[in-house]
């Protein structure tokens, strides 16, 4: 029984995981009793399938101990734990761990190769990534202190301390904006942060894309 790099098997298991997560989502709605019972039966059936799959993986493993103690083996085991407490609503978060099993798709050869290329690209820009991470941190902290000084008196409930201000700088940069300035100076600071912050976010993305391009070019030239 060869389950290693078996793409069809991994995809089938992943579909079952998605189905299990979909059932979890449907259970949060007010549904007729009959439909709820049907979802319960379907979830129990999927759970039993996962148990059988876990046993098959142990049987098929060259080293059973290595599989059980491996990253994917631990994920498989933890994802099965909620079956022991299936009736308890409080274990819904544990049941969500099943979705981590989709990471198994990365073991399929074509994804493994892509992951290796991604690692090579990241390794080639380690210095640049470290630099821009540091710059982004300094950038966020500096603007956080400035916005705190400007907005604290105007909005003490939102800018209570520097942590609230750092929250503002981060969420504003990514476009969330649940906290925003009301003073003229604060709005100018926000505009300045967004204009300069866009470059800080865009440059690492461009560096990674360029590095991936070089890795692919090297691979094609060798092959």
Q: Are residues 33 and 68 in the same domain?
A: yes
Q: Are residues 128 and 215 in the same domain?
A: yes
Q: Are residues 124 and 91 in the same domain?
A: no
Give the integer Cα–Cα distance in Å for 214 and 223: 14
Tokens (6 digits) for 144? 């956080």
Q: How confident is the model at residue 107 (pLDDT cuts 50, 70, 90)?
A: low
Please give the backbone phi and psi of residue 145, each rounded to the nearest 5 degrees, phi first.
Answer: -65, -40
What CATH code is carried by the domain that includes residue 213? 1.10.287.70
What CATH code is carried by the domain that includes residue 83? 1.20.120
DSSP state of 48: H
Helix ranges (DSSP H) in 89-178: 92-95, 109-124, 126-151, 162-174
Which pLDDT score is estimated for 82? 63
Which pLDDT score is estimated for 87? 47
With respect to residue 1, please indicate whether it lies within any of the assigned structural domains: no
Tokens (6 digits) for 102? 């989709």
Tokens (6 digits) for 35? 């439909």
Q: What is the arithmetic mean of pLDDT over 98-127?
A: 72
Q: Are residues 84 and 148 in the same domain?
A: no
Q: What is the arithmetic mean of pLDDT over 190-214?
A: 85
Helix ranges (DSSP H) in the chain: 7-26, 33-60, 64-68, 71-80, 92-95, 109-124, 126-151, 162-174, 184-222
- If one compares 124 and 20, the residue with the highest pLDDT of the two is 124
With respect to residue 112, please indicate whether it lies within any of the assigned structural domains: no
Q: Are residues 79 and 53 in the same domain?
A: yes
Domain boundary among 47, 74, 107: 107
CB neighbours (10 Å) of residue 156?
A: 10
Q: How far are the Cα atoms of 80, 156, 175, 212 from residue 190, in angstroms, in the given order?
A: 47, 18, 11, 33
Tally of structural domains, the chain:
2
Q: How confident is the model at residue 90 (pLDDT cuts 50, 70, 90)?
A: very low
Res. 1: pLDDT tops 60: no
Q: Are residues 24 and 58 in the same domain?
A: yes
Q: How confident is the model at residue 128 (pLDDT cuts 50, 70, 90)?
A: confident
Q: Are residues 97 and 125 in the same domain?
A: no
Res. 67: pLDDT tops 90: no
Domain boundary among 78, 107, 136: 107
Q: Burial, 83: exposed, middle or buried (Cβ in 10 Å; 0-12, 13-18, 19+)?
A: middle
Which pLDDT score is estimated for 179? 82
Where is average pLDDT lowest: 92-96, 174-178, 195-199?
A: 92-96
With respect to residue 90, please indicate whether it lies within any of the assigned structural domains: yes
- If one compares 149 and 28, the residue with the highest pLDDT of the two is 149
With respect to residue 145, please indicate whether it lies within any of the assigned structural domains: yes
Q: How confident is the model at residue 100 (pLDDT cuts 50, 70, 90)?
A: low
User: pLDDT tens, 138-161?
Assistant: 888 889 999 999 999 999 998 989
Identify the three-state secondary structure at position 19.
Answer: helix
Return the residue matching tokens 């204009």: 195
Q: Are residues 78 and 27 in the same domain?
A: yes
Which pLDDT score is estimated for 106? 59
| Residue range(s) defining the domain that contains residue 66 | 7-107
Tell me the angle at which helices 33-60 and 7-26 cross, rounded to the nearest 10 degrees: 150
């Amino acid at each position: 029984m060869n389950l290693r790099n078996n793409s069809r098997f991994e995809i089938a298991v992943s579909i079952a995981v998605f189905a299990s997560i979909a059932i979890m989502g449907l259970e949060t709605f007010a549904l007729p009793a009959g439909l709820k019972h049907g979802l319960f039966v379907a979830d129990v059936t999927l759970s039993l399938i996962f148990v059988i799959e876990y046993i098959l993986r142990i049987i098929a493993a060259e080293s059973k101990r290595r599989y059980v103690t491996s990253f994917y083996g631990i994920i498989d085991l933890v994802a099965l734990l909620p079956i022991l407490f299936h009736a308890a609503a409080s274990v819904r978060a544990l049941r969500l761990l099943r979705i981590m099993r989709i990471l198994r798709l990365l073991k399929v050869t074509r994804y493994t190769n892509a992951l290796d290329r991604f690692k090579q690209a990241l390794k080639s820009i380690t210095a640049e990534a470290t630099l821009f991470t540091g710059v982004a941190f300094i950038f966020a902290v500096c603007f956080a202190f400035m916005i705190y000084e400007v907005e604290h008196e105007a909005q003490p409930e939102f800018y209570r301390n520097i942590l609230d201000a750092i929250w503002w700088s981060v969420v504003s940069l990514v476009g969330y904006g649940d906290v925003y300035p009301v003073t003229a100076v604060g709005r100018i600071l926000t505009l300045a942060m967004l204009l300069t912050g866009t470059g800080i976010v865009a440059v690492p993305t461009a560096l990674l894309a360029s590095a991936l391009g070089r890795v692919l070019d090297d691979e094609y030239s060798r092959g």
